[in-house]
Chain A
Amino acid sequence: MASTTVVVEGAPRPGRARAFLLRLRSGDEVAHLITLVFASAIFLITVLLVFELYRNSALAREKFGWMFLVTRTWDPVFEDFGALPFVFGTVVTSAVGLLIAVPLGVGAAIFLAEMAPARISDALAFLIELLAAVPSVIYGLLAIFTLVPLLRTVVQPFLKKTLGFLPLFQGPNYGVGLLAAGIILAIMIVPFIVSISREVLMAVPVEQREAALALGATRWESTWKVVVPYARAGILGSIFLAMARALGETMAVTMVIGNDPKITSSLFAPGYSIAAVIANEFTEATSDLYIHALIELGLVLFILTIILNGLARLLILATQRKGTAHP
């Protein structure tokens, strides 16, 4: 006799205890309980994580307060810590990454969704998705020995000669720096933009395209003026997701960013990102305040990622409601 599967959440009220124990005999309640325990474990682990982050950054939060977010110094000797250079580095490298990855990724997605025949589209999409599986440290390994020398010897001098009037491209030329980190980030996030945007575009109802074509639009016009705007929210969502990934990238960035907590106007200059400084200095922070400051940085990063991920999901959800996104 299958019993009901409604479980009273929380402690069973007195008097019902007996009934509960009886129901426990049946496998359903046990199964429900077991899976509930594991699900709660997930919930508890996350709560614990946030709590630990909060608790272990107490010293820094008390000492610096909100000023932590806008202080430029990072001085372990005089124990003055500020997050601004790292937020700057994280934001700038992610911005450069997006600037390169978005046109590239959306372009590729459009081609794969609209232009390429289905088999080729699937095959190429498969290959591009493999890019997402390449570990960060391998990107870093490659970047050190290919990208950095290339930047130092060819690309950066070229940029300096042609666009050197912009403060962005001035200053000494190290090879490592914000630009190198931005480019490697771009390569790392492109597969996400391509794969999600492609799915979103492919899910646009075929009637939309046919309507546009029936009205005399060229393929491109139908794509650009009808399909893409329809899928706009989903594409934007993919960009936010890519941004969230870029923010948290540690290894590839720390191998090419130059590790200097400064705020400069030049992309050629070395910088520092939140994830990179934690990776470099965590095991060596010699005072409690120093460690707490690093953990507070981790907290800041975490919150930034949460906000972006949340926005991304909302956008992708919005596209779903409109009936365009992949279920």
Chain B
Amino acid sequence: MNYRTVWRKSVNAVMFSLTGLCTLLTVCILFFILGYLVWHGGRAINWDFFTKLPKPVGETGGGMANAIVGSAKLLLLATLTGVPVGFMGGVYLAEFGGKTFSFLVRYTTDLLNGVPSIVMGIFAYTMVVLPMKHFSTLAGGLALGVMMIPIAVRSTEEFLRTVPVTLREGALALGASKWKAIATVVIPAAFRGILTGIVLDLARVAGETAPLLFTAFNNRFWSPGWDQPTASLPVMIFTYAIAPYEDWHRQAWAAGLVLLGLVLLTNITARVVLARKLSSVAG
């Protein structure tokens, strides 16, 4: 009996150490990624990176100013197209939905969420690039926008549902019509959560490369307007990383640091805000 207990106790200790090790390993990976990028990217970042255009192939120097602006434009367009659709869709599902249509919308939202990003690129290519006869920021922005929709819908719906029924009924009792109650009471109450969800969504989409490969394409110059191809940070990282030029590798690290820095910063801020919000909503 004694031996058996000792055995069980040691198994207990060993297994928990093992699982602790798993956790440690996983967390270490994050720090490794950060550390490596900061080390290599930090050394590569200079003022040129943010202000200059890429140089011809094989020459050292230059920067990714156009890629930074390009990414910003793409994300702006993605937000303008994806967020309203997702938000309104979420409002519909949470507030107005009929039974079968809601089911259909939810099901297709899930489907859309599962579309691999490269397939989204194909879709945008056939729907926007071919008819326009142009690679363009528009096509890239739309592809990213459509990718934003499912999570925007889900965030909106979930956070609207968390608004306590008492709040709604209070508004209605005071004589507001349904839409007024939703617009002036329910949505503002859920606003922080919804916004956080959308910001997280944006951060996710900011790093997407595959849908841009054949929509926004790439550009060695500035891309004026919305109907020309544009450089973007993720595509530049990809192009430079697989090339043999040392100077391109250096710039890829810098770009990686900038991109990751922005994405992580956004994530951390959004999650902290969300955590505070959830704890303040006492129900």
A residues with a Cβ closer than 8 A to B are: 2, 5, 7, 9, 26-28, 30-32, 34-43, 45-50, 52-53, 56, 103-105, 107-108, 110-112, 115-116, 124, 126-131, 133-142, 144-146, 187, 190-191, 194, 218-221, 224, 244, 247-248, 250-251, 255, 275, 278-279, 282-283, 294-295, 298, 301-302, 305-306, 309, 313
Q: Are B33 and A255 in contact (CB under 8 A)?
A: no
B residues 61-107 with Cβ under 8 Å of A? 84-86, 88-89, 91-93, 95-98, 101, 104-105
Interface centre among A56, A105, A111, A244 (most CB of B within 10 A): A111
Q: Given known contacts A128-B27, A250-B210, is B108 in contact with A46 (CB within 8 Å)?
A: yes
The 5 sampled A-B contact pairs (Cβ below 8 Å) are A2-B172, A42-B85, A49-B119, A137-B209, A298-B122
State in angstroms the CA–CA spacing of A145 and B86 once bound together.
38
B177 and A28 within 8 A (CB): yes
Contact call B19/A221, Cβ cutoff below 8 A: no
Q: A220 with B15: in contact, given A27-B180, A135-B259 (CB under 8 Å)?
A: yes
Cross-chain contact B8 with A221 (CB below 8 angstroms): yes
The answer to whether B252 touches A141, judged by C-beta atoms less than 8 angstroms apart, is yes
Other A-B pairs, 12, CB within 8 Å; known A43-B104, A46-B112: A35-B92, A107-B21, A131-B29, A133-B267, A134-B33, A134-B207, A135-B208, A145-B249, A146-B36, A220-B15, A250-B116, A251-B210
Q: Mark B163-205, 1 if CB is under 8 A from A, else 0.
A: 0000000001000011110110000000000000000100110
Which of B86, B92, B113, B123 lies in contact with A36, CB distance below 8 A?
B92
B219 at the interface (CB under 8 A from A): no
Selected from A111, A145, A248, A306, the residue in CB contact (under 8 A) with B117 is A248
Nearest residue, chain B, Cβ from A144: B241
CA distance A244 to B208 in the complex (A): 17
Q: Does B263 contact A (CB under 8 A)?
A: yes
Beta-carbon nearest neighbor of A44 in chain B: B108
Indicate if the CB atoms of A49 and B112 lie closer than 8 Å: yes
The 5 A-B residue pairs whose C-beta atoms are closest, nearest first, are A135-B207, A248-B116, A107-B22, A38-B88, A31-B179
Contacts of B226 in A (CB 8 A): none
Contacts of B114 in A (CB 8 A): 244, 248, 302, 305-306, 309
Mark B residues whose CB is within 8 Å of A: 8-9, 11-12, 15-16, 18-23, 25-27, 29-30, 33, 36-37, 84-86, 88-89, 91-93, 95-98, 101, 104-105, 108-123, 125-127, 146, 149, 153, 172, 177-180, 182-183, 200, 203-204, 206-210, 213-214, 234, 237-238, 241-242, 249, 252-253, 256, 259-260, 263-264, 267-268, 271
Kindly identify which residue among A43, A283, A302, A306 contacts B213, using a CB–CB cutoff of 8 Å.
A283
Complex contact A220–B118 (CB within 8 A): no
* A-side contacts of B105, CB under 8 Å: 39-40, 42-43
CA distance A268 to B16 in the complex (A): 33
By a CB distance below 8 angstroms, the chain A residues around B206 are 135
Known: A34-B88, A131-B26, A142-B33. A42 touches B260 (CB 8 A): no
Q: Are B238 and A126 in contact (CB under 8 A)?
A: no
Of the residues B12, B98, B113, contact of A9 by C-beta under 8 Å: B98
Q: How far is the CA of A218 from the CA of B8 in the complex (A)?
A: 7
Which of chain B's residues have a CB closer than 8 A to the CB of A110?
19
Is B30 a contact of A35 with CB atoms below 8 Å? no
The secondary-structure label for the interface of chain A is helix
Residues of B within 8 A of A103 (CB): 22
Chain A residues near B112: list those with CB within 8 A: 42, 45-46, 49
Q: Separation in Å of the A62 CB from the closest CB of chain B?
A: 18
Is B92 touching A278 in the complex (CB atoms < 8 A)? no
Give Cα A27–Cα B253 distance, bound, in whole angstroms: 53
Give Cα A21–Cα B131 distance, bound, in whole angstroms. Answer: 38
- Determine which residue in B25, B96, B127, B252 has the highest number of CB atoms from chain A within 10 A of its CB, and name it: B96
Contacting pair A133 B204 (CB below 8 A) = yes
Q: Are B119 and A53 neighbours in the complex by a CB distance under 8 Å?
A: yes
Q: Select B26's contact among A115, A194, A305, beta carbons within 8 Å.
A: A194
The answer for the CA separation of A105 and B21 in the assembled complex, in Å, is 11
Q: How far is the CA of A109 from the CA of B200 in the complex (A)?
A: 23
CB neighbours (8 Å) of A43 from chain B are 104-105, 108
Residue in B9, B22, B88 whose CB lies within 8 Å of A111: B22
Residues of B within 8 A of A131 (CB): 26, 29-30, 33
**Is B123 a contact partner of A278 (Cβ separation < 8 A)?**
no
Q: How far is the CB of B123 from chain A (nearest CB, A)?
A: 5
A110 to B259, CA, bound (A): 32
Q: How far is the CA of A224 from the CA of B12 in the complex (A)?
A: 10
Docked-complex contact A137 and B237, CB < 8 angstroms = yes
Neighbouring A residues of B109 by C-beta, 8 Å: 42, 46
Task: Tell me the minimal C-beta distance from A131 to chain B in angstroms.
Answer: 5
In the complex the two chains form, is B207's CB within 8 Å of A219's CB?
Answer: no
Shortest A115–chain B CB gap in Å is 5
Complex interface: chain B residues within 8 A of A36 (CB): 92, 96, 101
Contacting residues, chain A, for B92 (C-beta < 8 A): 32, 35-36, 38-39
Shortest Cβ distance from residue B180 to the other chain A in the assembled complex, whole angstroms: 7
* Residues of B close to A53: CB separation below 8 A: 119, 122-123
Q: Are A137 and B234 within 8 A (Cβ)?
A: yes
- Contact for A190 among B26, B203, B208, CB less than 8 A: B26
Residues of A within 8 A of B127 (CB): 48, 52
Given known A-B contacts A35-B96, A104-B25, A134-B207, A298 and B118 have beta carbons under 8 A apart: yes
Separation of A219 and B203 alpha carbons in the complex (Å) = 39
